[in-house]
Chains A and B, each alone.
Chain A
Amino acid sequence: MLALVSPALLVILLLIVLPVGWLAWQSIYHDGFTLENYRRVFTEDIYWRSFALTFEISVAVTIIALLLGYPVAYLANSVPKGWSILILSLVVLPFWTSVLVRAYAWLALLQRTGVINQLLRYLDVISEPLALVHNTFGTVVATVHILLPFMVLPLYATMQKIPGDLMQAGASLGASPSLTFVRVFLPLSLPGVLAGCTMVFVLCLGFYITPELLGGGRTVMVSMLVSRNVELYNQFGAASAVAVALLLSVLVIFFAVSRFISLDRILGQK
């Protein structure tokens, strides 16, 4: 049995465990052990600001995704099967379009001469085109779009398991629909909320393509810091330290959340 897993395991060891280990080593070793790279990451302004911005954007994206995703999951859960299949298909449809393709689409929609601005000017809502892209706004719009399925699917899976008679029981005891929702349905859906929020937040922390293409160079997220240190400045040690800090953040979040719900539940929805 171990022989059967060895090819797959070898690929994983050589192509992800070894490279990440290498990063960790490189971040603390350069002609002798040094913590210089981490000192820079924790003291220099540009690194701090990038980490802060990344966490702010991730929090915002997670909250927006939850607010948009919850109603959709709720609706999909409360309509007849045919309708819920349709809704879920529309949710996963963008899932299977390349992230690059969607970045291009958002550029086409949001840029100064883009579809949205043209429409708003045609309707006389605005006289000057709005700056919708090449800034944090564009990054958030496109990022939420990409991560929303990761929120809706675990929410839906959790809501499916909530027995419908519980709501009827609440109603038969005289509670209004909104009260049964708040006191019965909402608390029972919280594991799905936690799973979805974790996945969205963690994926957002490492996002690269959308901020790079839609952020206009001003929204420097941590992943861009890593790539710039490698590509532009050949600062391998600094890049490694930033990468390790990012990875640790992700692992700490996964570990913390795994105390409440199983990791399978977060990852298994993929």
Chain B
Amino acid sequence: MTRISPARIALYVISALVLIYLILPVLIIAPISFSSARFLTFPPPSFSLRWYQQYFANPAWMQATRVTLTVALFTVVIATPCGVAAAYAISQSKLRIMRVIHMALLLPLVVPIIITAVGIFFVYAKVGLVATLPGLVLANVMLGLPYVVISVLAGMQSFDPAQEMVARSLGMNRLRSFFAVTLPQIKSSVVAGGIFAFISAMDETIVALFISGGQYQPLTKRMFTALRDEIDPTIAAISTLMTAASFMLVLAASARQKRSG
């Protein structure tokens, strides 16, 4: 048996501490959400579902939940086909301009989100899209596009375009050959991209802070306002549900990606 050097031990200890720091906040929320206490005490005095009841009984939270789910769903439905079409074109075309377009589609990841948010707010104010559902959906489509494009481009890398050529040489047109040959092979990356776009829309906060209002406020905006005013354990309940939803979606996405190898 080899002796483990002190440096190695230090490495283990430091890494373990960093990993605890990373996951502690994620783990702390669920116990708080099931606590009966009004104020944060740890460990929780007794088990209770009152914060979940308060969430489900509150019409404002329910309305916000409906807005979030509606926006996220529309975002996926619009962003996924747009992103797939764009990624397909970028990977197949030899045009030089495609490089520029590729970079342009990644802009939402580069521009600080606060700048995007304020800019969209100014534009929406001019055209009357502030505090509307379509306005919220459009903004989230833009923010979700890079995830679809990145995911599908990665999927296209392992796809051999010659197969599509074969289908076309056998008489299929380009569209049919795409749906019959290409799409089934990149399906996993398409689904993964769509899921990431959904999660991005579900979690988006900053743009919503500026452009949403009235009855079309998503969960995150209400949570943000609530957190600024007072700490209410109802938020822990909502956070737990949101985190659970995110994790299930990520697991679904990564299972998909793994199957595609």
Contacts and interface: CB of A to CB of B under 8 A. Distances in A.
Interface stretch (B19-27, B54-62, B180-188): B19-27
A194 interface: no
A208 interface: yes
A98 B40 CA distance: 20
Interface in B221-239: 223-224, 227-228, 231, 235-236, 239
Nearest to A247: B115
B224 A100 contact: yes
B82 A8 contact: yes
Nearest to A244: B115
B192 interface: no
A223 B112 contact: yes
Interface of A: 1-2, 4-5, 7-9, 11-20, 22-23, 26, 68-69, 71-72, 74-75, 87, 90-91, 93-94, 96-109, 111, 113-115, 118, 145, 148, 177-178, 202-203, 205-206, 208-209, 212-213, 223, 226-227, 230, 236, 239-240, 243, 246-247, 250, 254, 263, 267-268, 270
Given A16-B111, A20-B116, A90-B23, 7 more contacts: A19-B119, A72-B14, A96-B199, A97-B242, A99-B205, A118-B41, A268-B150
Interface of B: 5, 7, 11-12, 14-15, 18-19, 21-26, 28-29, 32, 39-42, 81-83, 85-86, 88-90, 92-93, 95, 97-98, 101, 103-116, 118-123, 138-139, 141-142, 145-147, 149-150, 199, 202-203, 205-206, 209-210, 220, 223-224, 227-228, 231, 235-236, 239, 242-243, 246-247, 250
5 contacts: A18-B119, A19-B116, A26-B122, A72-B14, A226-B115
